[in-house]
Structure 1
Amino acid sequence: MTSKAPIPYPLDEVEVVQATRTDLIERTWLNNKAEWGKDTNLDAYLDRERHLQSQDLTRDGGIKTWIVVPRQRANPGSDKDVDPETILSALETFERPAWIARKEDGQVHEVLAISIASVFTPEKFRSYGYGSFLMKAIWQKAKEMGAEVSYLYSDVGPNYYGRLGWTVHRSDELIIPVSTTFPETWVSPSSSSTNTVQDKDLEAILTRDAELLKAELVGRLNSNSNSNNGSMDKDTTVLAALVPEPNCVRWLHARASFVGERILNKADKITDLGVVSVEDQDQFVLWYHDLLHDQLTLIRTRFKADQPGQARALIERAVDEARKWGLSKVVAWNHDPLLEQWTGLQGVTRSSTLPSLGLCQEKDAGKKVEWILNNYYAWC
């Protein structure tokens, strides 16, 4: 049996600092390229990361990079003297608006959510506890920042982050191949018409969507308070939802456009961000062109149960968009259950990119949390 090499830096001699120096931030990208950019030209990969950090979602501190490094003797807590070669582990945090609804006060509160992404430890520094050390520190920093919710998407199964505070939630997806023939029982959309969604339309669509979501959360609170058999226990369940807002859609669109133009050298530009019903603008589909994974991913959808023809028109437009870009399928995360009934397709449970969420503050310790609207718009 091969013995484990001595730990490069004992855990009591390392610290977590925010990387503000450009060379340190870009070193974290170079490190994680082995995982998330292995088939991408180095210059294009770095340019993509710079591009994504310049979006409305991420500029002005919207994204932060955190690194584990040997403790800085002269400037503890600072990245001033950090050697890029000694970045032991790293991650990024995004600050997002969220809602929390608690049964005990019957209110929906707007709160800060911290999204965690790009968690990566260079291979030579793995198995020494640096990743767990970083995650524990970030959990504490999220609390200190006043965040009430933190979430991430796990590619290492449900247990690693689960023991650190982030519990796996629903992770279903519905796959609609572009070759799908929809059942005759799904009402014909012949009388329904749709318009494409452009950037200028996002504000109105998502402002209205957020209003409806907030009202739905209030309705959930009232419904459960009037029922002895409601699923929401008074003292132990919290409803949490990421607020739908344009910047998350724009960030994903910026990512897709860069991949199409710079990495895949597509001649056409991505212009359509989704479709909305002409007859009822509360019904819509927003999508993300995931060109590297051969799919059009539905970021956010809103349908009405009594208007299946509207839903069919919107989904058929999504299928058309996927086909236009040479993609083989349309994918919806944690989809509206009506889609299975309408399309005749069955959802599956993902084994990777598992949505994981936890409540950060002590007042919610021990409570269960239900993640409402756990759709792709939350991913980053």
Structure 2
Amino acid sequence: MDLPKHDSPHLHLVVATPEELLAQQNANSTEWRGTLSLEAYLRREEHLLNLPLTRNGGLTAWMLVYTPPDSESRQVICGCESIKKKALIAKDGKVEDAVAHGVASVFCPPKYRGKGYAGRIIEEVGKRLEGWQVGEGERSAFSVLFSDIGKKFYARHGWQPFPSAHIALPAQSTDQERGMSAVRLLKDGDLAELCEADEKLMRSKLASSSKSSGRSTVALVSDPVTLQWHAAREDFVNGELRLCQGSLQDRRGAIIGDEPGSRVWCYWTRLWTKPQDEAPSTLHITRLVIENEEDPAKEEAIVELLRAAQSEAKASGMDEVQLWNPSETTVAAFRQLGPKVEVVHREKESIASLRWYGEGSWEDVDWACNEKYGWC
């Protein structure tokens, strides 16, 4: 096939057919299946597509296709996916529900690279998402993606890099004293109530932040369907490779405290890597929630949650525990357990990037709760 130029009028953005999506998954599997076989990777993607977050149009598979002149056939050049997400946007103390989109799985086969096709599809998807899956006359608030190719490429096409830092501790067994008895592991059945409490707290924080700053403050909501999606990815890999003993459904995170308004809890998910990979197998704390954060005792509560996470990571065959964009209180808690740990500011991988569809510039936007649960 003679390849068209990236600005050819015969290139079109389309929603993929099931057959085109499957072909794209076969193509991108060498980069993204990780520890899974090809067959298992394809089954995982099919499984994830039928979860509450992604089914019935929650996930859209986009393709850039070439339709030659005087032909009805089309050739897939490259593709990506978007996932509709629940979001909040606050301005001058007023918080509103919003629609956002997470962009993922951007893939261009090697034979088509270096020709501007990836930039073309990203440009077109970015524009299309502004009015995608919203009411007539409405628009999405923003879209996000997490770049593994640094900060420049996606910034050129409208997604601006936001803080992308993390802090980590080694996985290790910890003693059960010094407060560990106060820690309770979270089960699937705990998540709905905690997500509701988290959203209320998030709304309050966004209202306060936007009122004091005069800027727009946005956040993705860590709702049950988002946590279920992360858990399903983890459960599938563990089910295939038998990496953990027992049910992970009883080990979704940890909490300290029983009284609403004074609790601290976190959710986590596990990412196993191949032994030959440079990246460590990591237990990611996807969301840390602190009620009554002004209480000085909360630092000690975070310390005990981190001990529980370290112990869980060790039992799960992980190398480390990692948390994204920690607050000063959280950094202080980490350093109680590892005095020399430092906050790492990522420059290449998992760069949190946001495309703003609202009034004004992205420079007038604060992204709150920019944690791992928002990754897709």
Percent of aligned positions that are identical: 25
1:370–1:221 distance in 2 versus 1, CA, 3 Å: closer
Provide the C-alpha distance between the structure 1 equivalents of 2:324 and 2:73, rounded to a whole number of angstroms.
40
**AA partner of residue 153 (structure 2):** Y
**AA partner of residue 112 (structure 1):** V
Q: Which residue of 2 aligns with 1:58?
A: 54
Shift, 1:343, TM fit: 2.8
Matches within 5 A, 1:289-328: 289-292=270-273, 293-303=280-290, 304=293, 305-307=295-297, 308-328=299-319
Asked whether 1:250 is paired with 2:228, we answer yes
Q: Which residue of 1 aligns with 2:142?
A: 149
Q: Deviations over 1:111-130 (max 9, x none)?
A: 11011000011111112211
1:279–1:312 distance in 2 versus 1, CA, 3 Å: farther
Q: Which residue of 1 aligns with 2:257?
A: 278
Provide the C-alpha distance between the structure 1 equivalents of 2:304 and 2:163, rounded to a whole number of angstroms.
27
Shift, 1:58, TM fit: 0.6
TM-score (norm 2): 0.86
| Contact 2:165 2:345 (C-alpha < 8 Å) held by counterparts | yes
Provide the C-alpha distance between the structure 1 equivalents of 2:353 and 2:259, rounded to a whole number of angstroms.
33
Provide the C-alpha distance between the structure 1 equivalents of 2:283 and 2:328, rounded to a whole number of angstroms.
19
1:71–1:148 distance in 2 versus 1, CA, 3 Å: farther
Q: Give the gaps of 5 or more residues in structure 2.
A: 133-138, 274-279, 336-340
Provide the C-alpha distance between the structure 1 equivalents of 2:219 and 2:35, rounded to a whole number of angstroms.
35
Provide the C-alpha distance between the structure 2 equivalents of 1:50 and 1:73, rounded to a whole number of angstroms.
34
Which range moved further: 7-16 or 328-337?
7-16
For residue 163 of structure 2, the aligned residue among 170, 174, 191 is 170
1:72–1:273 distance in 2 versus 1, CA, 3 Å: farther
Asked whether 1:47 is paired with 2:43, we answer yes
1:306–1:39 distance in 2 versus 1, CA, 3 Å: closer
Shift, 1:28, TM fit: 1.1
**AA partner of residue 28 (structure 1):** Q
Matches within 5 A, 1:1-380: 7-8=3-4, 11-19=8-16, 21-37=17-33, 40-71=36-67, 83=74, 86-103=75-92, 106-145=93-132, 146-179=139-172, 189-190=178-179, 193-222=182-211, 224=212, 232=213, 234=214, 237-263=215-241, 266=244, 268-271=246-249, 272-281=251-260, 282-292=263-273, 293-303=280-290, 304=293, 305-307=295-297, 308-344=299-335, 345-351=341-347, 352-361=349-358, 363-365=359-361, 367-380=363-376
Provide the C-alpha distance between the structure 2 equivalents of 1:191 and 1:355, rounded to a whole number of angstroms.
33
**AA partner of residue 368 (structure 1):** D
1:144–1:194 distance in 2 versus 1, CA, 3 Å: same
Provide the C-alpha distance between the structure 2 equivalents of 1:155 and 1:111, rounded to a whole number of angstroms.
27
| 1:356 aligned counterpart, secondary structure | strand
Provide the C-alpha distance between the structure 2 equivalents of 1:366 and 1:174, rounded to a whole number of angstroms.
26
Provide the C-alpha distance between the structure 2 equivalents of 1:219 and 1:204, rounded to a whole number of angstroms.
23
| Contact 1:142 1:360 (C-alpha < 8 Å) held by counterparts | no
1:35–1:12 distance in 2 versus 1, CA, 3 Å: same
Q: Which residue of 2 aligns with 1:227?
A: none
Provide the C-alpha distance between the structure 1 equivalents of 2:361 and 2:162, rounded to a whole number of angstroms.
17
| 2:237 aligned counterpart, secondary structure | helix
Q: Deviations over 1:91-144 (max 9, x none)?
A: 0000001111123xx311111101100001111111221111111111111122
| Contact 2:300 2:333 (C-alpha < 8 Å) held by counterparts | no
| Contact 2:180 2:307 (C-alpha < 8 Å) held by counterparts | no
Q: Give the gaps of 5 or more residues in structure 1.
A: 76-80, 183-187, 225-231
Provide the C-alpha distance between the structure 2 equivalents of 1:50 and 1:6, rounded to a whole number of angstroms.
33
| Contact 1:192 1:309 (C-alpha < 8 Å) held by counterparts | no
Shift, 1:74, TM fit: 8.4
| Contact 1:261 1:267 (C-alpha < 8 Å) held by counterparts | no
1:74–1:57 distance in 2 versus 1, CA, 3 Å: farther
Shift, 1:158, TM fit: 0.5
Shift, 1:215, TM fit: 0.5
Shift, 1:9, TM fit: 5.4
| 2:100 aligned counterpart, secondary structure | strand
| 1:218 aligned counterpart, secondary structure | helix
